[in-house]
Amino acid sequence: MNTFYLNQLGRTGLVAVATAVLNACAPGQETPTPTTSVDVSRYVAVGDSYTAGISAGGLTRASQEYSFPSLLARQFKGASREAAFTQPLLEAGTGAGFIELVDFPATGLPKTRRVAGQAVRRTIINPGTCAGPDTVRLLTRNNPSSSLPQNLGIPGLALSQIETAGLGNEASAVAGAPFNSYFERLLPPATTRTYLQAVTDVAASATFFTYFQGLDDLLPYVRSGGQCGGRYDSTAFRNQALLTMRANARKVLDRLAAGGRPGIIAKLPALTTLPLLRLGNGTALLARFSAAPGVFITVGNPFRPAQVRPITSRDYVLASVLSRVGQPTAVVVGSTTLMLPYGLDSRNPLRDADVLDETELTFVSFVLNGYNNELETLARDVYKMPVITPDGNQRALNLDVILFDQVAGLISVGGVVYSPELVRGNFFSLDYYTLTPRGNGLMANAFITAINKAYRANIPAVDVNSLPTVAQ
Amino acid sequence: MRPLFLFVVPLFSGLTASASGFETGPQGARVLGLGGASTAYINSIAGLSTNPGLLGQWGDSLTRISIGHLSQFRRSSFIGQDTYRRTDQELTVQPGGYFYATHGVGKRVAVGLAVTMPYGYHTKWPNNWEGRSVIQESQLSTYFVQPTVGFRLNDNFSAGVGFVYAYGKYSQRRALGQYDDPAAQSKFSSSGQGYGVNVGLYGRTGETLAFGISYRSGLNLKMNNGKLTTVGVPERDDALYPSTADFKTQINLPSTLSVGVSDRITKNLLLTFDFTLSGWSSLDSLKLDVAASGTAPARRISTARRYEDALAFRVGAEYQATPKLTVLGGLRYADTPVRDEFINPEFVDANTLGASAGAVYQLGRLALEAGYAFDYGQRRTARANPVIDRVANVSGTYRTGTHMASVGVAVAF
């Protein structure tokens, strides 16, 4: 027994020695050193929901930590040791509330439920909004509120609101007044500071910026099937909306790019790449309900009487109502009440508010494209930003080309496939709009690719597969 | 001799590729020390597996047996192209061994048996490494049993033919990186067998010069008993990844064409040269055909390999230092069968330059043999294109080093 024990010990020792010797024999390679020709140590991020780190319809401490600016800043640390990045972090937990997965049936439409947020300190019901009663949730104030964070992403912030005084003042949190609770929690109580002033303050000490703003200007219109969020059906309104977005983007960028400060200006992705629209594309819907006589939608606007027509490949049913399509609902036909499948019978068409039809999409895309063109022009002519694409003619980041279109066609990253499918695709989160932590990792890598090209930097990319698949 | 040799050189010079792949190295302590140049080398019966034509040379009244252990330590380092992170493979030992026996029957005929483990590898990356969803661990082991008969055609020439029975075991596991659970993974394991032949010729011109030429056919290991087990999949995806399923696969092992020369420079010094062409191009892709299980349909997991035929050039020297002690040395260069576009972490390979050393100590009828070799590979750069979503790979650079060590005994009685 004793001998055996000694033998065992001796053998273990021998193995340990052999292992140590051979471990030293792993063939060496030099690891590249992260470098950058520009100072990324004080980075400021300006934007809306994406920049703030909204994921699965909510902001939580975890979703903030996996926001793309936060992931970017983490990678900057490798190249610039003194780099620091502050975010208006919520307390750990359910934050402002979010939606979670209950079940993922074969239809590919997840069943979800809303989880209440612990950071909500007061709610105000605004009964008179276009899409019905709206709940404003006041959140616990960022601490310390005396200094503004470097991540200035404000969920829901429209470019048209950047000079609205009182947008972040609790006194404005009444029905009908412009108010943003995410902006409010960044500011000291009872101040009338505008978002543009906040950007001005933070940009003063910044060395680098990212700008990705404007989606939240257009999303209310898209989400309401063209019913709310602005009268984009009116030519005058459209032109004015575009002018405002361009002018206000310029105001923000004038602060950010002042004195030739380096940064990345990102253009908006096409709205149809977002699952909110993509999942309910007319072609996809017709394929899904090929047994039905057709899919019927209501189109119209306040100037024209509503009319019912079959759906086409250029119409989009909102993803949020897809699970209701085909469900029997009661409809009065003549004098009798019939149970007809919703949307699959011309007598029970999809409501106008449930569809972003071709015309509505054209209206809103006009603004989006005009805005993107302006960003490219500003980057090239006004701020003289460096070229960021290999083909040598783009100076604002086209996220469609480098990210969203690629994911739409499926990509494999280190053996893991990312797709626009919800839940299994691991890219878009459950709100059909924002990204999962891994999606944000891919987004951060798109920015890193652009930074490395534009500023001759060697910033390492995020290992996306090591990030969680859900933020909460 | 000269006309033959001149014929051989142009045959190989037109090939851009050269032979390593997942060979485990020369199958014997003595031939390992010699750098593997053993096609025309008759001082060890380990040459039996390389060239059955040598067998006729051991047709005297003696029975010869050679047995030993062989280990291969193969290790690569990786640096992610975009992440700049370095990952070293974990230390693994691919165990091997050999057994040879020859016996003369009659004046012109000899019989022999070779049991070897000529192909195999054991790749093990850390469980959480960057390419974990491509591969975490993969192992192939093969066992060749080759009964052989050799004929002495005349004083200078002999020929031999062997039948090869091969048995192989293959296993791999990879993470299911689409899930948060770090333990989520698929494990594949299977085994199977295949058959082949090995023929060779050995000749001597004069007292000092000898040559050998041999051909071993390629083999196809048919593995029909594969088991796939999957763990760590969330409930919602149970139907996509059933916990167990059957699969089939086959692994093609290359044919080898070897040509060798040995030249006794002085009474005590022997030099040997070998060219080997390995027909790796038979390995086109690794296809794992997973059978339907539960509601999950049958599917094929295919990884392109597209190996090229590969050439190796080996030089060996044997020096009789004292009547009892013989020392050996060798150098070799081997082309890799792995093309740039198909570099995959499951089996990393490169053009290698190697050196070897060995010693034989004679104790009467017994010879104690030891050999060691080291191969160092060129840097390889793998570029994965994310847009091709059916190809699972990681971008980065690899460096590979291989140690081989062997000890054995040989007896003649």
Question: In a 10 Å sphere around its CB, with 0-12 CB exposed, 13-18 middle and 19+ buried, how is residue A133 labelled?
Answer: exposed
Question: Is residue B150 within 8 Å of B159, Cβ to Cβ?
Answer: yes
Quick one: pLDDT at residue B9? 40
B132 vs A contacts (CB less than 8 Å): 414-415, 465
Query: Over the stretch A307-317, which tens digit does the pLDDT of each residue have?
Result: 899 999 999 99
> What is the three-class DSSP state of B110?
strand
Average of pLDDT values for B332-351? 93
B352 vs A contacts (CB less than 8 Å): none
Domains belonging to chain B, first-starting first, are 2-412 (2.40.160.60)
Read off the tokens for A206.
């910044």
Question: What distance in Å separates the CA atoms of residue B52 and residue B202, rounded to the nearest whole number?
Answer: 9
**Residue with tokens 């029909």, as numbered in its chain:** B224
Quick one: pLDDT at residue A27? 82
Per-residue pLDDT band for B5 (boundaries 50, 70, 90) equals: very low
| Cross-chain CB nearest to A415 (options B75, B133, B180) | B133
A466 vs B contacts (CB less than 8 Å): 128
Query: Closest approach of chain A CAs to the CA of B96, in angstroms?
Result: 18
Question: What distance in Å separates the CA atoms of residue A278 and residue A317, rounded to the nearest whole number?
Answer: 9
Cα distances from B146 to residues A311, B19, B120, in angstroms, run 71, 21, 17
Give chain A's contact residues with B (Cβ, < 8 Å): 19, 22-23, 25-29, 31-32, 34, 78, 103-104, 406, 409-417, 423-424, 426, 445, 458, 460-463, 465-466, 468-470
What is the DSSP annotation of B154-192?
A: SSSEEEEEEEEEEEEEEEEEEE-TTSS-TT-EEEEEEEE
Query: Over the stretch A69-88, which tens digit does the pLDDT of each residue have?
Result: 999 999 999 888 888 999 99
Query: By C-alpha distance, which of B41, B46, B43 is closest to B29?
Result: B46
Quick one: pLDDT at residue A66? 97
Query: Over the stretch B206-250, which tens digit does the pLDDT of each residue have?
Result: 888 999 999 999 999 999 999 999 999 998 888 889 999 999 999
Instruction: Name the residue of chain A whose CA is nearest to B385's CA.
Output: A412
Quick one: pLDDT at residue A23? 52
pLDDT at A5 over 50: no
Quick one: pLDDT at residue B363? 94
What amino acid is encoded at A337 in this protein? T
Contact B177 A465 (CB under 8 A): yes
Q: Under 8 Å CB-to-CB from A423, ≥6 apart: which residues?
A: A101, A104, A110, A430, B236
Question: Is residue A355 within 8 Å of A325, Cβ to Cβ?
Answer: no
Average of pLDDT values for B377-387? 92
In degrees, rounded to 5, the angle at the alpha carbon of residue A401 between the alpha carbons of residues A380 and B381 is 105
pLDDT at A292 over 80: yes
A409 vs B contacts (CB less than 8 Å): 387, 389
Question: What distance in Å separates the CA atoms of residue A46 and residue A154, rounded to the nearest whole number?
Answer: 8
Count how many Cα atoms sit within 13 Å of the Cα of residue B396 in the half-sphere of its side chain: 31
Query: Over the stretch A353-392, which tens digit does the pLDDT of each residue have?
Result: 999 999 999 999 999 999 999 999 999 999 999 999 877 7
pLDDT at B100 over 90: yes
Quick one: pLDDT at residue A81? 84
What is the DSSP annotation of A339-393?
A: EEETTSBTTBPBPGGGEE-HHHHHHHHHHHHHHHHHHHHIIIIIS-PPP-STTS-
Quick one: pLDDT at residue A141? 87
For residue B65, the surrounding DSSP H or E stretch is: strand B63-80
pLDDT > 90: what percent of chain A?
Answer: 71
Q: Under 8 Å CB-to-CB from A288, ≥6 apart: which residues?
A: none
Read off the tokens for B101.
């026996």
Contact B394 A415 (CB under 8 A): yes
Q: Which segments of B126-266 does DSSP mark as H helices, in order?
A: none
